[in-house]
């Protein structure tokens, strides 16, 4: 059986999709898949994904309906507005919600591993994370990744 390992290190809406899409698809293709969530990636393991946002700030490649100066992007509420607009756009184009693609991963038995160091660093409450996940460190990841066909850092 082919294997794929992914490190998910980002916790924004745009960067959350690639690991979940690749993991669920690889599982559908018969791969054994493990995703290691570290640093901001831990946000993607929360039971409630509604706090996952996208910001136009420091994200100059993000297509905007109208050009928006950075001074405007930093105003209060802009992040929520950008997130809402992005979610509407995703829906309109038939892209599954983050929740859906994550559910597809779990259904396909993709293994999620959370970085214990990050949990300690940010003093996260484990009860806010999904229940069927494991906690480990770099050696845990490498133990699986060393024997994979595809290994990605997102």
Partner 1 sequence: MNFDKELDVRGMSCPMPILKTKKSLNDMTTGQVLKIVATDAGSIKDMQSFSTQTGNTLVAHTEQNGEYTFFMQKK
Q: Which residues bind partner 1 (CB under 8 A)?
A: 21, 24-25, 28-30, 93-96, 100-101, 104, 108
147 versus 149: smaller Cβ distance to partner 1: 149
42 versus 98: smaller Cβ distance to partner 1: 98
SS3 at position 37: strand
30 versus 67: smaller Cβ distance to partner 1: 30
The distance of closest approach from Cβ of residue 28 to partner 1 in the complex, given in angstroms and rounded to an integer, is 4
Contact present, 32 and 120 (Cβ < 8 Å): no
Contact present, 86 and 13 (Cβ < 8 Å): yes
Neighbouring residues of 73: CB distance < 8 A, sequence distance ≥ 6: 55, 56, 57
The distance of closest approach from Cβ of residue 94 to partner 1 in the complex, given in angstroms and rounded to an integer, is 4
The distance of closest approach from Cβ of residue 127 to partner 1 in the complex, given in angstroms and rounded to an integer, is 29
The distance of closest approach from Cβ of residue 103 to partner 1 in the complex, given in angstroms and rounded to an integer, is 10
d(CA 145, CA 120): 23
Distances (CA, A) of 126 to 40, 47, 66, 67: 15, 10, 40, 40
54 versus 119: smaller Cβ distance to partner 1: 54
């Amino acid at each position: 059986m082919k294997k794929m390992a992914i490190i998910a290190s980002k916790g924004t809406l745009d960067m959350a999709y690639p690991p979940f899409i690749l993991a669920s698809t690889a599982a559908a293709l018969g791969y054994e898949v493990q995703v290691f969530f570290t640093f901001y990636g831990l946000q993607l393991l929360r039971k409630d994904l509604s706090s996952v946002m996208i910001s136009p700030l420091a994200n100059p490649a993000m297509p905007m309906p109208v050009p928006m100066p950075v001074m405007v992007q930093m105003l209060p509420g802009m992040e929520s507005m950008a997130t809402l607009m992005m979610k509407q756009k995703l829906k309109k184009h038939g892209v599954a919600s983050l929740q859906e693609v994550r559910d597809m991963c779990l259904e396909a038995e993709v293994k999620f591993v959370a970085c214990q160091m990050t949990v300690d660093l940010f003093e996260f409450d484990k009860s806010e994370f999904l229940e069927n996940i494991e906690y480990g460190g770099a050696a845990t990841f490498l133990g699986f990744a060393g024997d994979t066909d595809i290994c990605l850092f997102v």
